[in-house]
Every structure is written in C-alpha cells, then in structure tokens.
C-alpha cells in the first residue's frame, strides 16, 4: 500500500528537524509560525490527527511557549518535542 502524500506535514516537520540539526535560528523563529498558520488547514486535510499532534507538540508546547528563549534552549526543546511527536507511545 502506498503512503498517503503529506507535503504540508512533511514541510513543517522538516523545518523543525532542520532547525534542531543546526539550521539558522533567526530564519526558524521568523518563519515557523508563518508557515505553520499558512499550512495548518492543508495539514488537517492530509492527516487531521497527526496535524493536531504537530500543533500540540511542536507549536503549542515547544515553539509558542519558548520562541523568545535562547537559541540553545529552543533547539533542545524542539528536539524533545520532535522526539515526543515521533514516539510510538503517544497514541
């Protein structure tokens, strides 16, 4: 069975992964919220449950609460949020 295409979900998760792996702090902090809001409806059409999980883990608990923290702290928090998002234990 072929995997359902999720380009919007892949884009947002990819942005977070790129930042965690050493991507530019300023680009991430300036662009993440914009792209998240822009792509959220499309993400919901792709996979509503996973889009809600991305909203909860990456946006609400990590980025939105910590976007004004230091670069190192935000990077660590986003790394933990990605780990939690991808954990098989959350469902």
Spell out the domain ranges in the chain.
7-86
Other CB atoms within a 10 A radius of the CB of residue 19 amount to 23
23-78: per-residue pLDDT in tens? 999 999 999 999 999 999 999 999 999 999 999 999 999 999 999 999 999 999 99
Rounded Cα gap, residues 19 and 84, in angstroms: 16
* Tokens 């977070």 sit on residue: 16
Question: If residue 21 lies in a helix (H) or strand (E), which one and from where to where?
Answer: none
pTM value is 0.89
Rounded Cα gap, residues 91 and 77, in angstroms: 21
């Amino acid at each position: 069975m072929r995997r359902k295409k999720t380009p919007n979900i892949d884009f947002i998760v990819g942005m977070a992964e790129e930042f965690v792996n050493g991507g530019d702090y300023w680009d991430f902090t300036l662009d993440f919220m914009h792209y998240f809001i822009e792509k959220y409806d499309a993400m919901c059409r792709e996979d509503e449950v996973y889009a809600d999980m991305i909203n909860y883990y990456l946006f609400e608990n990590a980025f939105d609460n910590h976007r004004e923290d230091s670069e190192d702290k935000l990077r660590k928090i986003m790394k933990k949020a990605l780990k939690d998002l991808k954990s098989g234990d959350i469902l």
